[in-house]
Structure 1
Amino acid sequence: MARPYHPGPKQFVFAAGDGNDQQVSVGDPQEAYVAFSAFYRGREADIYTIKDEPAGQSLVLMPGAGVISRIKDADQPRSEYLRVDRANRYLPSAMLFFENGFKGLDRFGQWFADLADLDASPETRGAARAATITTEAAAIEEVARIWADSGIVDPSDQYYVFFDSHGAGDDRAERAALLKLLEFLGLERVDAPAGAADGEVWVRTDPRLDAEFARWS
């Protein structure tokens, strides 16, 4: 059960550029997510905005451009941009925003202050994001996040499978980041078995990851 907002209820404004903005008053992040999901799925827009006006924060989803932007208008205004490789990433980003606002998206991916930086290749963006992670704890958390998004444990319980059933053309930035982090952590990557999708990454299980994966599963 989602933790209630305190103080609550909390107000958000949803907009999609069609003039039919929706203001909601909700008691917890899950209620906010349900309301926004209905708003999002009931339209076909290029841009969706979630505004938390009392906090001076916004989340802008741009499925037409494959971009998410987070904005903070407080003492030190900031706008940051994230390239999105898959359509199913938009609503999870909204849930994180409802839970913890701007900072709730810190580990959702690699954010750039300049929209032009998103033009780098996915592999370059992924490797650059991995390079910003310099501690074992942070690396384990990021590997667990990537696994939780599209991974499984092999039925033998000997291997973690990342990007289960995904092709090599999918998740290119995430895969590049993962490979760098596996190297940083000294984790053993193994060859995928015959018949596995060509985008899968198989890694031998490691006690350091088991507890973190359980937390994310």
Structure 2
Amino acid sequence: MCLVVGTRQLTFSDDKGDEQEWLPGDPRSAVDAFLEFVAERREAGTTSFAIEDEENDEALLLLFEVRAVCRVKGPQHARTEYRVVTGRGDHRAQVDTFVRGGFAALDPHGPWLPDVDSLLRARSAQLHEKAARRADSGSDAPERRRKELRSEFDTSVLRRTHPRELRRRLEVLTLVDGREPATVAGVTHYGFGDAVNAWFTAGGRGLVVTFDRTSALDCSDDAAAQAALYDGVPADLLALVRNAPESSTALNVPHPDGGTLVAATGIFTFAGPCAMADGLVSRLQETGTGIEDTGLDRLENFLALKDFTPAAVAQAGPWSAEDVARGFAASAPEQAVPALDKEAVDRFCEIWADSGYNDRWDVHYVLFDSYTVEEAGERRDDLLELVGTLGLDRVDAPPEATTGEVWVRTDPRIDAELGNWA
């Protein structure tokens, strides 16, 4: 049986008796509403949750305490099966699949185990494997701290801001600060004050750098330490800050291999989903400092503004109302975007409806999550061709993603059509 997303009522519940109904037409998707229900109650210590389709006698249970999910079908042809949670995005992917297609749609997302004993054996094997890896690598405390830092950043304002909106605001703020965005060889440099700089290529890849001279992370007088802060930045993005043209917003410091490097206390890449540079994460972990020490707040103060207006910017920033007004007036007006080929859009939406979802901040379409290239097969090839045809921005999948996973930045023209498929 193929279920159509959004056409049936769902019930959310937890092991403490709390319940919540989700009805078709709710402005939030069923997935987002359920995960919000879960997040609110997990803070109070609740560990088991269910999303139930009473009409079809089906349910999916999230069992956080034992890191497992359970799918239930009954009473006719009753089945209860379990699956060990293996990694990032597992819960959301399972919930998304259940909402889209019910019990049967989860078949390829196993292995599904027939009883609790089988689950416990599989869970035990997984724990032994993890313990062996930890024994090989020594204490896992540093790695745990790095994961905590990345998890914290994943909820930051910068991570939640679409690069399209980020660039629009950076352009305005650069102009408000009395400067001009400078484009050389297809790379545009934005910057304001002496704390925020950003470079974006015509293809949408970018690097945001913040600098706080008062931060414990400031190592601008130590060439090796400053270079190490950029560890993990893709080579094409690192090239944007090596021997960069002189700028009143950026401080160039010596590089150990010769030439210069832009001084930074915060380094954020836009090769895939926005992320902190590996070198920055390591430095935060080593020094016990936090994301608040990177100087990112100098940018996020403006990204957090719900209404990005001259009045709001004048209130949040150090500029006069006149300077702010001039900057807004000088910014390029929003240009009408061309319509996309309807057939190509429909084909993209069909693949999304079958094998995709939006990330938690609606910045990316995530397609073929947990698939290998072989498992995704020809449909993945079709998707990549459509991404090119439609001119969408495909980005690098996160390092921990499976080989078939595809991340594409969201586009309002596609979003307008996805409502017909959700």
TM-score for the superposition, normalised by structure 1: 0.53
> Offset of 1:43 from its aligned partner?
1.6
Deviations 1:112-171 (A, max 9, x none): 111211214249xxxxxxxxxxxxxxxxxxxxxxxxxxxxxxx9xxxxxxxxx9xxxxxx
Moved over 3 A (4+): 208-216
- Cα 1:57/1:209, change in 2 over 3 Å: closer
Matched with 1:12 is: 10
- Cα 1:39/1:107, change in 2 over 3 Å: same
Distance 1:90 1:76 in 2: 25
Aligned to 2:9, the other structure's residue is in SS state strand
> Offset of 1:108 from its aligned partner?
1.3
- Cα 1:4/1:19, change in 2 over 3 Å: same
Matched with 1:160 is: none
Residue type of the alignment partner of 2:103: F
> Offset of 1:23 from its aligned partner?
1.0
Structure 1 unmatched runs, 5+: 124-154, 156-164, 166-202
The within-5 A match list for 1:57-206 is 57-86=58-87, 88-118=89-119, 119-120=121-122, 121-122=125-126
Aligned to 2:109, the other structure's residue is in SS state coil
Contact 1:71–1:80 (CA<8 Å) still a contact in 2? yes
Distance 2:377 2:109 in 1: 21
Aligned to 1:64, the other structure's residue is in SS state helix
Deviations 1:5-48 (A, max 9, x none): 4xx642111011222210111249x7211211211111212101
Residue type of the alignment partner of 1:111: W
Contact 1:10–1:27 (CA<8 Å) still a contact in 2? no
Contact 2:31–2:95 (CA<8 Å) still a contact in 1? yes
Distance 1:105 1:209 in 2: 15
Greater relative CO, 1 or 2 (CA 8 Å, sep 6+): 1
Residue type of the alignment partner of 1:64: E
> Offset of 1:65 from its aligned partner?
0.6
**Between Structure 1 and Structure 2, how many residues are aligned?**
134
Residue type of the alignment partner of 1:24: W
Aligned-pair identity (%): 25
Residue type of the alignment partner of 1:16: D
Distance 2:4 2:377 in 1: 30
- Cα 1:22/1:113, change in 2 over 3 Å: same
Larger Rg: 2
The within-5 A match list for 1:206-217 is 211-214=378-381, 215=383, 217=406
Distance 2:30 2:113 in 1: 27
> Offset of 1:67 from its aligned partner?
0.9
TM-score for the superposition, normalised by structure 2: 0.28
Residue type of the alignment partner of 2:69: I
- Cα 1:113/1:4, change in 2 over 3 Å: closer
Distance 1:64 1:87 in 2: 16
Aligned to 2:47, the other structure's residue is in SS state coil
Matched with 2:35 is: 37
